[in-house]
Amino acid sequence: MGPIKNILFPVDFSESCFAMSAYVKRAAALLGAKVSLIHVFDPSSYNGFEIYVRRVPEIADEHQDIALRRLEGFLADDFPPPECRRMVVAGDAAAEIAAAAKEGFDMIIMPTHAGSFRRMLLGSTTAKVLNDADCPVLTSRHAETIAPHPLDHREWLCAIDLSADSERVLGFANQLATQARGRLHILHAIQAPDRILPVKLDIQEQVQTGQERQAIERIAELQKKIGSQATVRVAHGAIKDALLEAAREYEADALLIGRSPQSGADGRLRDLTYTIVRDSPFPVMSV
């Protein structure tokens, strides 16, 4: 992955979307990136009366014109139309967002709606985008209640599982932290034999068990390969709880986690990824 130069911001004119704009502005400022807004409208959303009095193509054209005018005025002060491109397309929102992102965009930023993000609800636009998009996706369900950190706060947290894909995920996290001139921290969780035991956190200097030593050595190898010198934290417990408990200590700008590089039959996301996106105390960037 190259540097983040172009950010795609899908908007549906909701309160969550309006609140997420602050995160988009901050990300663009940190990364020196351009922002483009996209709105996807449903061409079949017209009512029976419209069909009765006019032809369907005329109705679709009018709905597109209305959507474009609305988008041009949406957050115009934060994202001036001459500088920030506006796009209106018709179709399925998630499919069109994922397709648009392939046309020169390096990241998608969009909210998740609190209380509704569950794997069973794959009809969710955000869930589908997370599953289908090739580029990194930054999401947050806290946008309406928690403001992003100020620009001088630049802390990035990357959770890796030491699988074959960890080098890719950590490499991107290191690149992103370098581009944003921020500090990177690495987090790895070890599943405790007894899942009901409380989460235990160890720093690198307190490593005692063989499993911990192997993890630290593997992380050191990865850091050497990509040229990273991030601090390392090892957590013990149920994986999700251990990751989130450690994450809360950092007050990070975002938690970076990996998705499957290929969508495949099972999709890019797994159960653990869904729960972390849902429960993280701050935005999650899925890579």
151-206 pLDDT, tens digit per residue, is: 999 999 999 999 999 999 999 999 999 999 999 999 999 987 654 444 454 544 44
Query: Does a structural domain hold residue 23?
Result: yes
Indicate if 64 and 38 belong to the same structural domain.
Answer: yes
Query: Does a structural domain hold residue 119?
Result: yes
Indicate if 188 and 230 belong to the same structural domain.
Answer: yes
Indicate if 12 and 111 belong to the same structural domain.
Answer: yes
- pLDDT above 70 for 264: no
| 271 confidence band (pLDDT: 50, 70, 90) | low
Could you give the angle at which helices 271-279 and 239-248 cross, rounded to 10 degrees? 30
Indicate if 136 and 161 belong to the same structural domain.
Answer: no
Residue 118: the pLDDT is 43
Query: Does a structural domain hold residue 29?
Result: yes
Segment 200-245, tens digit of pLDDT: 545 444 445 788 889 999 999 999 999 999 999 998 888 888 888 8
| 274 confidence band (pLDDT: 50, 70, 90) | confident
Segment 106-126, tens digit of pLDDT: 999 998 865 544 443 434 888
Indicate if 176 and 100 belong to the same structural domain.
Answer: no
- pLDDT above 50 for 74: yes
Indicate if 131 and 170 belong to the same structural domain.
Answer: no
Task: Give the residue among 172, 102, 161, 95 at the shortest CA–CA distance from 132.
Answer: 95
Q: CATH number, domain at 226?
A: 3.40.50.620
Residue 119: the pLDDT is 41
Q: What is the pTM of this model?
A: 0.86
Segment 30-68, tens digit of pLDDT: 999 999 999 998 876 655 545 545 555 666 677 788 889
Query: How many domains, in total, are found in the chain?
Result: 2
Indicate if 134 and 160 belong to the same structural domain.
Answer: no
Indicate if 114 and 174 belong to the same structural domain.
Answer: no
Indicate if 136 and 177 belong to the same structural domain.
Answer: no
Contact assessment for residue 13 and residue 74, using Cβ atoms and an 8 Å cutoff: yes
Query: Does a structural domain hold residue 20?
Result: yes
CA distance 92 to 163: 34
Query: What residues contact 6, with CB distance under 8 A and at least 6 apart?
Result: 33, 34, 36, 104, 105, 106, 107
Instruction: Return the minimum-mean-pLDDT range out of 76-80, 90-94, 143-147.
Output: 143-147
Contact assessment for residue 230 and residue 186, using Cβ atoms and an 8 Å cutoff: yes
Rounded to an integer, what is the distance from CA 25 to the centroid of its chain? 15
Domain that holds residue 25: 6-140
